[in-house]
Amino acid sequence: MKKIAALTMVRNDDFYLRKWVEYYGAQLGRENLYIFFDGTDQTIAPFCEGTHAELHEKIGTQVVSAEKGRLKFLSEQAAALLASGYDLVIGVDADEFVVVDPRLGLTLPEYLSRQRIGVSLSALGLDFGQKLGEEADVTDAEPFLRQRHYAQIGTRYTKPSVVARPCVWGSGFHRIKGHNFHIGKDLYLLHFGYFDMKRLQDRFQDADRLSQGWGAHMQKRARTIRYCTELPARDFDRWTRFARICQTLCRPPYAWNKPAMFELRIVVRIPDRFRDLV
């Protein structure tokens, strides 16, 4: 079995980080989780016990420059972990979860240990929304996937999250500079950052995020909820199979090492077999 670490950087995000620690801790072992808090004014929560959690000097004050600095730092940390004996490092935001299709009956380490990974492996991105009028506000009392059942297949979240060699992630983990990407079959990245209207509205009022320029970004991402509410939900297995092929073959003209999908807006309903994963 390959030795695998997961790392992330957070700021004022305990709601997602708690779930992140629970999920990746169960999959990889808490001793293999590396959490960096962006700013020494943060507090390391008790639920991080058993992980490698540390405060770091705040990286930048504006979203674009801060994001570049954040990913440069995390790329360096991933390289150090690989040099220290890890076979693979998973780099994701705290609201992102790399999962294996339950029909395979494999844990995440079992799946990744079977893959031949040159530089990186991507998971097909699923951007979760809220179907207004059907799905209530999210709580932390149940798994996310028992409360949310719809997601847009999004090229934005098909990220090279798993790396086997030192490399440099682009902003948001969206690409690896100078390298192609490869999408793993039956591997998904679940993004929950914009899956609840109430939480999204609360984020719009977060002075810390607004001061860094996140307001316009969050307003734009609210459209995921609109898509999940208004668009018809399509068959998961059929359309994720199509998306994996399409994203492998199609690239945007401005970035050959990112996936494209003709701007298609495809919403799928998540099968019940996923309901207890996250």
Calculate the average pLDDT of the chain. 90
What is the dotted CATH code of the domain comprising 4-274? 3.90.550
Residue 175: per-residue pLDDT: 87
Contacts of 25 (CB under 8 A, 6+ apart): 33, 50, 51
The DSSP code for 50 is: T
Examine the pLDDT at 206 and tell me if it is beyond 80: no
Q: What tokens were used for 188?
A: 């998904």
Beta strands in 136-199 (DSSP E): 150-153, 162-163, 183-191
Residue 216: per-residue pLDDT: 58
Give the position of tokens 């390391």. Answer: 44
Domain range list for the chain: 4-274
Q: Cβ(125)–Cβ(93) under 8 Å?
A: no
Q: What tokens were used for 272?
A: 């019940």
User: pTM of this prediction?
Assistant: 0.91
Residue 96: per-residue pLDDT: 97
Of the chain, the end-to-end C-alpha distance in Å amounts to 23
Give the position of tokens 């779930």. Answer: 19
Measured between alpha carbons, how far is 146 from 233 in angstroms, rounded to an integer? 17
Measured between alpha carbons, how far is 157 from 184 in angstroms, rounded to an integer? 13
Q: What is the pLDDT of residues 135-179, one digit of tens each?
A: 999 998 899 999 999 999 989 999 999 999 999 998 889 889 888
Give the position of tokens 């807006």. Answer: 265
Q: What tokens were used for 58?
A: 């705040």
Q: H or E stretch including 96?
A: strand 96-100
In the predicted model, what is the mean pLDDT of residues 2-19? 93
Q: How many CB atoms lie within 10 A of CB 41?
A: 11
Amino acid at 73: F
Residue 255: per-residue pLDDT: 72
Residue 55: per-residue pLDDT: 93
Q: What tokens were used for 193?
A: 């950052």
Residue 133: per-residue pLDDT: 93
Measured between alpha carbons, how far is 143 from 126 in angstroms, rounded to an integer? 17
Residue of 206, 201, 205, 172 lying closest to 189 (CA atoms): 172
Contacts of 125 (CB under 8 A, 6+ apart): 153, 154, 155, 156, 157, 158, 159, 188, 189, 191
Confidence of residue 134 (pLDDT cuts 50, 70, 90): very high
